[in-house]
Amino acid sequence: MADAPKHIVLSRTDSIGDVMLTLPLAGLLKQRFPGVRITFIGRSYTKPVLERSTHVDHVLTLEELAPSDAPAALRALKADVLVHVFPKREVARWAKAAEIPLRIGTTNRWWHWTTCNHRVAFSRKNSDLHEAQLNVKLLWPLGIETIPGLDKLASLSGFSTPAIDAKYRSWVGPEHRTVILHPGSKGSAVEWGLDNYATLIGLLNARGYRVLVTGTQAEAEHYRTALRFDHPLTIDAGGRLSLDELIGVVGASYALVAASTGPLHIAAACGIRAIGLYSPRRPIHPGRWAPIGRDAHALVNDPNCALCAAGKPCDCIQRISPMRVMELLEQP
């Protein structure tokens, strides 16, 4: 663009983890274009995450736009640019109808050829770059051509942690380090297995850690079939926390252990020890989806797993030893 943009819209309407790895774009854009306004189009359930970023000035949800005159709502923003970080056909159609001057998408979606006036060619699936870095490729039309390292991107999320709700303060404290275990993934990742979490709970209890198990109500009904909560330092928080409350609890805790899920990426952005459990199979491997943050870690059982290298289903993630996780938790 000849002039620096004054208002940029980022659209990513998928899950919490994906949104967390998109927040650095807002910080990068603010750095490149001081004073620029950032609007983020997301889902209603990711709104609490988006509102925690100091770089996001306004949040629009898909649920707000869909039943309204969406093109008129987007036109009223008077935005210069809309970046389709996640391809959504309706959003692309609305942005074109709103006549947003620069509409950036990828060459991989046929509808971007009819709705976007700038398309970037790259493949996420076959790239060796991390998801947060792949997102930056979409900013090339704005003159941002250098892909920052992951440490730099992690520092650009602008993510801030709310104070923990008073009714949950007893869950964290100086007398016991609190480790959050999030066993489920709502199908978004290959999971570690409840047997492993049960073993890890035993190891943590024996060493005096407070254990907090989190998840949706449906996930809790599943993990309660295999996990025990009769130890005084183990708390079942399944189905009890809103997303904003969860963020506050995560930010006040010592560590979180999970597969490749939204809470893992939230923990990394909060700066606590975030331990992700991964399969090395593309495209779900940690090279693409590892948490990013100052104390973020990704574990695999065998980075050279033959089944994973062949792209075949594999349960090698379940062979990551709970003791290996415990040792990482206890590292200084």
Tokens, residue 307: 């089944």
What are the DSSP E strand ranges found in the chain? Answer: 7-11, 37-42, 58-61, 81-84, 102-106, 118-120, 178-182, 210-213, 234-236, 255-258, 273-277, 296-299
- Looking at residue 313, its pLDDT comes to 87
- Looking at residue 23, its pLDDT comes to 98
Q: What is the pTM assigned to this prediction?
A: 0.96
% of the chain at pLDDT higher than 70: 99
CA distance linking residue 56 with residue 58, whole number of Å: 6
The chain-wide mean pLDDT, for the chain, equals 95
| CA nearest to 156, candidates 143, 147, 166, 169 | 147
- Looking at residue 89, its pLDDT comes to 96
pLDDT (tens digit, 9 = 90+) per residue, 197-252? Answer: 999 999 999 999 999 999 999 999 999 999 999 999 999 999 999 999 999 999 99
Task: Name the phi and psi angles at 194, rounded to 5.
Answer: -65, -30
| CA nearest to 189, candidates 229, 158, 154, 219 | 219
Structural domains in the chain plus CATH codes: 7-154 (3.40.50.2000), 166-330 (3.40.50.2000)
Q: Is the peptide bond before 183 cis (omega within 30 degrees of 0)?
A: no
The mean-pLDDT minimum among 41-45, 134-138, 182-186 falls in 182-186
